[in-house]
Amino acid sequence: MTDVFSLAGVALCSLCAVLTVREVRRDFTPYLLMGTAVIFLLACLPGIGEGIRFAGTLTAAAGEGTVSVVLRALGVSWMTAAAGEICRGAGEGQLASWLETAGRVELLALSLPLLRDLLSLAGIGP
């Protein structure tokens, strides 16, 4: 919980720096934003390690096929959301919308094998 408060503090400090620098030197703003993004990514590394260990445990318990599809779907949704926010931040809302639509189509394609397996377990599908 304290990590969230620390990251919120970093975000607010970065916001103040960006708003201040934007008035003086607009060309430095992207560097401040990239530096803040690096701080956030470094703060997430311990959680990513825990997630990878948990995924290994889950794979051993549930089988590789199901967990692989779920993890890929999670990756697609996170990457789509992150790239969409970057596009929106750059003022390209239309591009972000199309990207999110493509991400939804990819999620649908990823989920079809799981849906087929569920239907076959229920005796409905082929």
pLDDT at position 2 is 55
pLDDT at position 125 is 63
Tokens of 30: 């992207």
**Interatomic CA distance for residues 74 and 64, integer angstroms:** 15
Residue 43 contacts by C-beta under 8 Å, 6 or more apart in sequence?
A: 3, 6, 7
**List of the chain residues with pLDDT < 50:** 1
pLDDT at position 1 is 46
Q: pLDDT for 100-126, tens place per residue?
A: 999 999 999 988 888 888 888 887 866
Burial per residue of 84-107, b for 16 or more beta-carbon CB atoms within 10 angstroms, e otherwise:
beebeeeeeeeebeebbeebeebe
Residue identified by tokens 């959680």 is: 47
Residue identified by tokens 């997430």 is: 44
Per the rule left: phi > 0, alpha: psi between -120 and 50, beta: everything else, 92 is beta
